[in-house]
Amino acid sequence: MPKSSRKDSDDTFGVRGAGPTWQAEFGMPLNEEDLLFGARREPVANRVVFQFAHDVFDKWFRVEEVAEKPDPYFDKEVQKVLSTLNAKDVFTRAAVYERLFGWAIVALTYVDYGKNIETPVQGPKQIRELVPYTTLQLTVQSSDEDKDPESPRFGLPLFYSLRRSGASQTKLHFSRAIHLATRLLEHPFRGMSVLEPIYDDDTVWRNIRYSLGETLNRYGSGFPDITAKGASTPKKIDEFLGSEQFKQLRARSIFVHDENTTLEFKGVAGRALDPKSYCDPILESFSTGTGIPTAVMRGAQAGALTGSEVNEREYFTLISDAQSRYEPSVRQLIDALIACGQIQTQVKDYKIVWFGGFELSDTQKAQIALNFAQAREKMLNWMMIDEVRAEQGLKSLPNGQGQLVLGVERLKQQQLLGQVPGAAADSGFWSRLRKLIHGNGGKNLEDNTHSSS
């Protein structure tokens, strides 16, 4: 239904209702109520907002010191502090808000020498709480943006105006917040919602789904066609209906007629259109707008095994990209915790290693281990045994036993035995050499498999 009295510049607050009613119509500007309505009511919107954000932080990460001899306990200390602050849940919720509304913040509750939260952080001693805020609860007034063109924060917020339930509005200094906006476009700090590129398609999709439901409701259970023998006149038919023999019928409507009366549906060959040819382009458009493969969007990895793996890898490549975009926000928190002394281990630098969502099967891991073993066998033709062992993190063999090149020794053995190149040598000799090379019964191969996956 067109809204001719409404201008594009007006807000799009509307009436939520059954059927195809939508907050904003096709091509109209969007506001926060439209986006919120979509995430609540539309499966695709919920998928790309909620479920995607949870997949980003589901496996979490580990923190490694960047040093010649990294501290093995650094990650354990960091994770303990992050767990105390419920950081995983907070960042997941913040990512949901950021994906839905385009930007969000995580407010840091400091114990410091600042007079209040409107002042910069001074002498921080502790971070006690992390609170994610949506744009439904915060705003940035124009007067609170940095207007100094020489400032490194030019165009960015100096203060955030917060609105919490049951409390008056208050301002938060930017040094007490972590700002999340991973899809900046025309604005310096207000990002774009992930729903904007697919919102019009979702509007069409909603109407298609509604129409399909109405078709099933009206015609899916059949149309009762009753022949009343002997009811040859309208009066007799009325009497027939008045007998209430059909009172318990649950069909939507009935048609009572004599042998001279017929009913025929006119339209598309007497049947509904096949919706598949109309639904598939919408699903493909969703995939284009979100980067999520259509099979993953449907929620199932259908089809051949190889096709499923390709879809899954593409999806988790997208997840990995999102993790790298959220990583600066995570580092900002860890740096703040180090500055407060809550993380006591002092490091010059560290890196965040995200755990991947895609996992290799046992068969694939075994094949990789075999490939590594075969590659090391080839290396022995031109590398010393100790050099190959060093690449696996193993120590040199004692008494200089590893200071030889297996390929050269093979040629010497062939010459001593009078064999031509390529002939089989003493299997016991080479078996002993392989044990020296691989050590630990192949445990090093397993370790390398885990690191590569």
pLDDT of residue 263: 61
Residue 257: its H or E element? strand 255-257
102 touches 190 (CB < 8 A): yes
What burial class does residue 343 get, using C-beta atoms within 10 Å of its C-beta: 0-12 exposed, 13-18 middle, 19+ buried?
buried
Q: Where is mean pLDDT largest: 221-225, 228-232, 294-298, 378-382?
A: 378-382
User: What angle in degrees, to the nearest 10, is found between the helix axes of 199-219 and 276-290?
Assistant: 150
Answer whether residue 207 shows pLDDT above 90. Answer: no
Answer whether residue 102 shows pLDDT above 90. Answer: yes
Answer whether residue 141 shows pLDDT above 90. Answer: yes
When pLDDT is averaged across residues 42-49 and rounded to a whole number, the result is 89
The H-assigned helical ranges of 184-253 are 199-219, 234-242
When pLDDT is averaged across residues 274-285 and rounded to a whole number, the result is 76
Antiparallel, parallel or unpaired: β 159-162 and 170-173: antiparallel
The model's pLDDT over 143-166, given as tens digits with 9 standing for 90+, comes to 999 999 999 999 999 999 998 766
222 phi and psi, to 5 degrees? 95, 160
Give me 6's structure tokens. Answer: 């409404």
Three-class SS of 28-72: CCCCHHHHHHHHHHCHHHHHHHHHHHHHHHHCCEEEEECCCCCCC
Cα separations (Å) of 130 from 107, 170, 175, 313? 6, 17, 14, 33
What is the C-alpha separation between 333 and 132, in angstroms, rounded? 13
Give me 87's structure tokens. Answer: 């950081």
What is the C-alpha separation between 233 and 117, in angstroms, rounded? 86
pLDDT tier, 242 (very low <50, low <70, confident <90, very high otherwise): confident
pLDDT of residue 62: 94
pLDDT tier, 131 (very low <50, low <70, confident <90, very high otherwise): very high
Cα separations (Å) of 312 from 95, 215, 295, 365? 21, 35, 9, 17
183 touches 191 (CB < 8 A): yes
pLDDT of residue 427: 54
What is the C-alpha separation between 291 and 198, in angstroms, rounded? 11
Answer whether residue 317 shows pLDDT above 70. Answer: yes
What is the C-alpha separation between 339 and 125, in angstroms, rounded? 8
pLDDT of residue 248: 59
State pTM to two decimals.
0.67
Count the Cβ atoms, other than its own, within 10 Å of residue 153.
13
What is the C-alpha separation between 417 and 411, in angstroms, rounded? 10
Residues 6+ apart with CB under 8 A from 282: 201, 204, 205, 208
Antiparallel, parallel or unpaired: β 61-65 and 126-133: unpaired
When pLDDT is averaged across residues 351-357 and rounded to a whole number, the result is 85
% of the chain with per-residue pLDDT over 70: 71
Answer whether residue 374 shows pLDDT above 90. Answer: no
Answer whether residue 182 shows pLDDT above 90. Answer: yes
Domain ranges of the chain: 206-298, 362-452
- Which residue carries 């979100």 as its tokens? 290
What is the C-alpha separation between 294 and 286, in angstroms, rounded? 8
pLDDT tier, 364 (very low <50, low <70, confident <90, very high otherwise): low
The model's pLDDT over 10-41, given as tens digits with 9 standing for 90+, comes to 433 333 333 344 467 777 788 888 898 888 88
**3-state class (DSSP) for residue 11:** coil
